[in-house]
Amino acid sequence: MIGLTINGKSHKVDADPTTPLLWVLREQVGLTGTKYGCGVAQCGACTVHLDGAAVRSCSIPVAAVAGRRITTIEGLANGTKLHKVQQAWLDNEVPQCGYCQSGMIMAVTALLKQKPKPTDADIDAGITNICRCGTFQQVRQAIHAAAARA
């Protein structure tokens, strides 16, 4: 049994310690907002926060995150109030197919914690998620919009 703190709640899961966090989240905790895209930390669709920092959950064994604070896309909103990044995503109509967007939003929220008013160069350096629909123009616009919010 491995103890996990996900979106502020405690969970105990029975998983092989080498199981990637991604699959524990999706298959054992039932949080499917975090997506599988590549399994090798290339695409970022599986991005979650570990103690507030963005990590690629497909490449982190669950045993390594026991007792640490994990936040997924489902834990970002405060009740019915969207996180400002989610609101900016909605306002700027960022998603197309939407599959990569959970990971994109988690990467951006972590970036904004470090750099509340990121420049375009900060965004270029900090966001390396793949989006095959190609929403980057809206992503950039929405990041600046979110940064402009209090």
Partner 1 sequence: MNDMNDLLAMNRRRFVLGTAGVGGGLALGLQLPLAATAEAATPAAVPEVNAWVVIRPDDTVVIRIARSEMGQGTLTGLAQLVAEELQCDWSKVTTEYPTPGENVRRKRIWRDFSTGGSRGIRASHEYVREGGAAARIMLVQAAADQWGVPAAECSAANSVITHGPSGRKTTYGKVALAASKLEVPKDVKLKDPKDWTIVGKPVRRLDTRPKVLGAQIYGADLRLPGMLNAAIRDCPVQGGTVRSFDASAVLGMKGVRHVLQVGRSAVVVVADTWWQAKTALAALPIDFDEGPNAKVSSADIDARLVEGLTATEAFVGNSNGDAKAALSGAARTVEATYAYPFLNHATMEPMNATALYTPEKLEVWAPTQNGEASFAAAVEASGLPADKVDVYKINLGGGFGRRGFQDYVVQAVLVAKQLPGIPVKLLWSREEDMTHGRYHPIMQAKLVGGFDAQNNLTGLHLRLSGQSILADVFPANLVKGMDPLTFQGLAMPGEHGFGYTVPNLLIDHAMRNTHVKPGFWRGVNANQNAIFLECFIDELAEASGKDAVEFRRALTANHPRNRGVLEAVADRIGWSKPAAPGIFRGVAQMKAFGSFVAAAAEISVEGGNKIKVHRIVAATDPGYAVNPAQIERQIAGSFVYGLSALFFEECTVKDGRIEQQNFDTFPSMHIRHMPKVESIVMATGGNEPWGGIGEPTICVAAPAVLNAFYRATGKRVRTFPLKKHGITFA
Site for partner 1 in 102-121 (CB under 8 A): 102, 105
Residues from 65 through 84 that contact partner 1 (CB under 8 A): 72-74, 76-77, 82
Site for partner 1 in 10-29 (CB under 8 A): 11-14, 16, 19-20, 23, 26-29
Within 9-135, residue ranges assigned H as helices are 21-23, 84-91, 101-114, 120-126
Q: Are 33 and 90 in contact (CB under 8 A)?
A: no
- Residue whose CB is less far from partner 1, 27 or 51: 27
Q: Parallel, antiparallel, or unpaired: how do β-strands 2-6 and 9-13 relate? A: antiparallel
Query: Which range touches partner 1 (CB under 8 A), out of 37-45, 49-57, 63-71, 110-118?
Result: 37-45
**134: which residues sit within 8 A by CB, 6+ positions away?**
96
Cβ neighbours of residue 75 under 8 Å, at least 6 residues apart? 6, 7, 8
Instruction: Give contact residues for partner 1 (rule: CB under 8 A).
Output: 1, 11-14, 16, 19-20, 23, 26-40, 42-43, 45, 72-74, 76-77, 82, 86, 89-90, 93-102, 105, 123-125, 127-140
